[in-house]
Structure 1
């Protein structure tokens, strides 16, 4: 199996198109055509992780965080980033990062937190914008159903928990074939009127090329009339953070104690308790101060996240409890998630969970 085959499997879970614009995801080091001997899954790729990969005969590291985030202008070994990349290249080890691509999908980082804390009925807290498009096309009525079916098979028409979604209008199209045309309907030089169906389908923007290829392949006309629109709708299964409910309301202090135990947290930094029961909980793995307003607007009693600054705790405004449990702590189970996923997809392949400690923050 080649590296590119593993990355294709990973991108079924978290397509790279769903990563944030500021991020650096995908294959960061290595040749996609290399054969994979073993896979080591980690939260961070550091020198000790590369050493672990060498010791366990793994030549592909699947990392949540990207070791190369900003631009690298030199590789002199001056910084920990440069030393890690040099060691990986020198020893033929590839590095692949998922980061915000995995943050933004169902079954990713935040759903794992919900699962760990027993939060039920989770949904996306901040839906991602700009991920959907709409295709409109026109086809002879008798050909409408086969064309619709081909578009559905290419991935169009999926909205939330529903598939095969379309809107159809009946009308009459007209056209005059030029001298060089090869018309399926009508005669060259004469205007032709055809009873047609207008088909409207929504699809994920990243699927556009495949859907248009299916349209052109299965449409009967020599020249296909179609329109593509950007839409403001959001995909309810894509976005940052999640919000759900506890099976039973519990006191704030009791809930945070549960968080400490379930998330293996030494310290929880939090805003003032409101002396009310916790029922609705928002979570966002990693740095989540930007989610405070969304959590309040969604009616969360508590927001579980990390990297909250001093003045950002004031944004709780007696409307919810903000709980900062640590950056590493919110994302620590991500590597378990990825090992489970890859093992199911490749049951006969060596996938290892890294034992290296990569949390840079220590507690006294």
Structure 2
């Protein structure tokens, strides 16, 4: 398998189009056509991780965080980023990053936190806007089922756990083929009236090119009439953070102690204890201060995240507990998720979980 073959599998889990605009995801280093001898999965790509990849004969590193985040103007080894990239290139090791593409997945980073904490019925906390689109096209009635079937195969018509969703109305279409055309129905220069079906299907925005290719390939008309619009509907499958419930409510201090143990963190920085029961919990891996309002609006009793600043703890406003358990700690199980996923997708392939400790923060 090539690097491209592997990345296509990873993008089934977390399409790169789902990443935030500021991010740098995808293949950052390496030849996409290179044959892969082994995959090393890590949270961060550092020099020690590249050394580990060399030792384990892995020439593809799948990393959650991107080692190249901003543009590199020189590669002289002056900092840890440049040294890591130089070592990877010198040893023909490709580096692929997923970051916010996996953050926005409903089976990604935050779903894993929910799993570790035993949260039930997790839902997206902040749905990503503008990700649902609608295609409308017009097809001769006798061809409507065939065209609709091809659109479904390309990924159109999926809503939550439902597939093959569409809405069809029938009407009378008209057109006059001009000089130089080869109409499949009617004659050049003559007004033609045709009983047509208007097909409406929605789709996730990253599938647009694939769906249009299917439409053009299977539509009977020489000139395809269609329109695409972006909907404001909430997408339950793409977005930041998740919120779920405990099987049994807990007192606040025992709950925080449970979080400390299950998330393998040596300390939790948190806002004021409120003397309430904990039942509903919001989580967001990594830096999650921007989601405090969303956690409150979701009526969460506790919001678990990282990188909360001093004054941001005030934003709890006695409505919930904000618990900062550490950036690395919120994302540490991500590499386990990726290893499990890859093993299921490509069994009998050399896939290794990195043993390198990449957490830059130490506690006394």
Q: What TM-score results when the alignment is normalised by the length of structure 1?
A: 0.98
Distance in 2, Cα, partners of 1:329 & 1:278: 21
In structure 2, what is the equivalent of residue 91 of structure 1? 91
In structure 1, what is the equivalent of residue 150 of structure 2? 150
In structure 2, what is the equivalent of residue 288 of structure 1? 288
SS at match of 1:178: coil
Q: How many Å apart are 1:266 and its aligned residue?
A: 0.4
Distance in 1, Cα, partners of 2:87 & 2:277: 51
In structure 2, what is the equivalent of residue 77 of structure 1? 77
Residues 67-92 of structure 1: CA deviation (Å, up to 9, x unaligned): 11111111111111111111111111
In structure 2, what is the equivalent of residue 300 of structure 1? 300
Distance in 1, Cα, partners of 2:224 & 2:210: 16
Q: How many Å apart are 1:35 and its aligned residue?
A: 1.1
SS at match of 1:48: helix
Residues 278-332 of structure 1: CA deviation (Å, up to 9, x unaligned): 0100000000000000000011010000000000000001100000000000000
Distance in 1, Cα, partners of 2:224 & 2:35: 42
Q: How many Å apart are 1:234 and its aligned residue?
A: 3.0
SS at match of 1:62: strand
In structure 1, what is the equivalent of residue 353 of structure 2? 353
Q: What TM-score results when the alignment is normalised by the length of structure 2?
A: 0.98
| Unpaired stretches in structure 1, ≥5 consecutive residues | none
In structure 2, what is the equivalent of residue 10 of structure 1? 10
In structure 1, what is the equivalent of residue 115 of structure 2? 115
In structure 2, what is the equivalent of residue 326 of structure 1? 326
Distance in 1, Cα, partners of 2:341 & 2:147: 34
Q: How many Å apart are 1:184 and its aligned residue?
A: 2.2
| Unpaired stretches in structure 2, ≥5 consecutive residues | none
Distance in 2, Cα, partners of 1:73 & 1:51: 24
Q: Which ranges of 4 or more aligned residues in structure 1 deviate by more than 3 Å?
A: none
In structure 2, what is the equivalent of residue 222 of structure 1? 222
Q: How many Å apart are 1:187 and its aligned residue?
A: 2.5
Distance in 1, Cα, partners of 2:328 & 2:345: 26
Q: How does 1:59-78 map to 2 (within 5 A)?
A: 59-78=59-78
Distance in 2, Cα, partners of 1:346 & 1:77: 35
Distance in 1, Cα, partners of 2:358 & 2:178: 67
Q: How many Å apart are 1:244 and its aligned residue?
A: 0.6
Residues 244-265 of structure 1: CA deviation (Å, up to 9, x unaligned): 1000111011111110010011
SS at match of 1:85: helix
Q: How does 1:248-259 map to 2 (within 5 A)?
A: 248-259=248-259
Distance in 2, Cα, partners of 1:215 & 1:103: 31
Distance in 2, Cα, partners of 1:272 & 1:11: 41
Q: How many Å apart are 1:179 and its aligned residue?
A: 3.1
In structure 2, what is the equivalent of residue 138 of structure 1? 138
